[in-house]
Amino acid sequence: MPSYAFLRNQFVPLGEAKVGIMTHALHYGTGVFEGIRGNWNEEKKQIYIFRLKEHYQRLQQGSALLQMKLPHSIDELCRITIELVQKGEFKEDIYIRPVSYKSTEAMGVRLHKLDNDFMVFAIPWGRYLDTDACRCCISSWRRPADNVIPPSAKITGLYINNAFTKTEAIERGFDEGIMLSQAGNVSEGSGENLFIIKNGELITPSVKDSILIGITRDTVIKLAKNELGLETTQRSIKLDELYAADECFLTGTAAHLTPVAEIEDRKIGTGKPGAVTARLQKLYFEVIKGNNNKYLDWCTPVYNK
């Protein structure tokens, strides 16, 4: 199937979408990216892109932080993305990767006096955490504080912190690593936010604990409230509280909603996905696949019928 990319304001075959070796972002991590999912609905023969606009709003905020003005409005970015997916004719779950980056081919660490471009491509991508219940370690790498690199923006250079964590986890035989903040509070996974359930209360680290403010996190908070009548408490979680949780799960565009079975070889609850987690997970998959009419506003259909 042909796959396309969009860069320098035009669509090109993916294999021809290239940047030069002196591109600033390649050397200094001066880019901001997004991960967006298109979810294939077999019955409706449709791909629904989940919360497309919100992803571009976050990209716009991150770009502004790096002193970049996106060359397209958010509505244009949404239209470009829909056309990109249409061109690919995908009939499976896909992952869309937009990047806003310093495109000038020049050396020198800085943010100012550099041009920027926007690129996006889409590829087929199924499961990210290839497990029904993941085993996590506690990373020896901590999340940077806001005054080091703000973790609330998906800055490409920041992700070396996440890469350290992920590789450490895999090399130690785990599926994912959970990072603590500089203060030692539970922060997030290398590509996911984290939730725990304790005595019926749903809790997730607050924005003060160096997290990315995830769109899936927000989705789960809203679904828990609207559909289960369960409010989410956003506050710091200590490590001992994490180990003692009744249930735990991770959320992210790539990872969806994945239950956590064990952390550092300690079982969480029974060591099997918990009841609240299972209910939220079922709801979540219905919603992202466009099978829940109440939340169709979050789902952008790609193919014209």
Q: The tokens of 30 are what?
A: 């001066």
Query: 34: which residues sit within 8 A by CB, 6+ positions away?
Result: 55, 56, 58, 59, 96, 97, 98, 99, 154
Q: How far apart are CA 56 and CA 33, in angstroms?
A: 10
Binding span for ligand PMP by CB under 6 A among 13-21, 119-127, 186-194, 234-242 = 186-194
Query: 177: which residues sit within 8 A by CB, 6+ positions away?
Result: 136, 137, 138, 139, 141, 165, 166, 168, 169, 189, 190
Minimal distance, residue 285 CB to ligand PMP, in Å = 15
Q: Which of 3, 104, 193, 281 binds ligand PMP (CB under 6 A)?
A: 193
Binding span for ligand PMP by CB under 6 A among 70-78, 189-197, 268-276, 295-303 = 189-197
The answer to whether residue 188 forms part of the interface with ligand PMP (CB under 6 A) is yes
Nearest to 39, CA basis, from 295, 294, 286: 286
The answer to whether residue 165 forms part of the interface with ligand PMP (CB under 6 A) is no
Nearest to 189, CA basis, from 218, 168, 220: 168
Minimal distance, residue 191 CB to ligand PMP, in Å = 4
The answer to whether residue 103 forms part of the interface with ligand PMP (CB under 6 A) is no
The answer to whether residue 194 forms part of the interface with ligand PMP (CB under 6 A) is no
Taking the least distance from each CB to ligand PMP, the nearer of 124 and 144 is 144
Instruction: Determine how β-strand 176-180 pairs with β-strand 134-138.
Output: parallel
Mask 73-102, x = binds ligand PMP (CB under 6 A)?
A: ------------------------------
Taking the least distance from each CB to ligand PMP, the nearer of 215 and 283 is 215
Q: The tokens of 60 are what?
A: 């716009």
Taking the least distance from each CB to ligand PMP, the nearer of 59 and 114 is 59
Is 305 noted as a catalytic residue in this protein? no
Binding residue count for ligand PMP, defined by CB under 6 A: 14
**Active-site entry in 18, 102, 154, 166:** 154
What is the per-residue burial (b if ≥16 Cβ within 10 Å, else e) of 166-176? bebbeeeebbb
Q: According to CB under 6 A, which residues from 237 to 266 bind ligand PMP? A: 251-253
The answer to whether residue 192 forms part of the interface with ligand PMP (CB under 6 A) is yes
Mask 197-236, x = binds ligand PMP (CB under 6 A)?
A: ---------------x-xxxx-------------------
- List the beta bridge partners of residue 105: 23
The answer to whether residue 62 forms part of the interface with ligand PMP (CB under 6 A) is no
Taking the least distance from each CB to ligand PMP, the nearer of 185 and 253 is 253
Q: How far apart are CA 201 and CA 244, in angstroms?
A: 13
Taking the least distance from each CB to ligand PMP, the nearer of 25 and 114 is 25
Instruction: Let me know: does 17 contact 5? Beta carbons within 8 Å.
Output: yes
Q: According to CB under 6 A, which residues from 1 to 60 bind ligand PMP? A: 35
Binding span for ligand PMP by CB under 6 A among 6-14, 107-115, 185-193, 275-283 = 185-193
How many alpha carbons lie under 13 Å from residue 73 in its C-beta half-sphere? 2
Q: The tokens of 173 are what?
A: 């035989």
Q: The tokens of 246 are what?
A: 């009744």
Q: The tokens of 14 are what?
A: 């993916």
Q: Give me the active site residues, please.
A: 154
Summarize as ranges the residues that interact with ligand PMP (CB under 6 A). 35, 162, 188, 191-193, 212, 214-217, 251-253
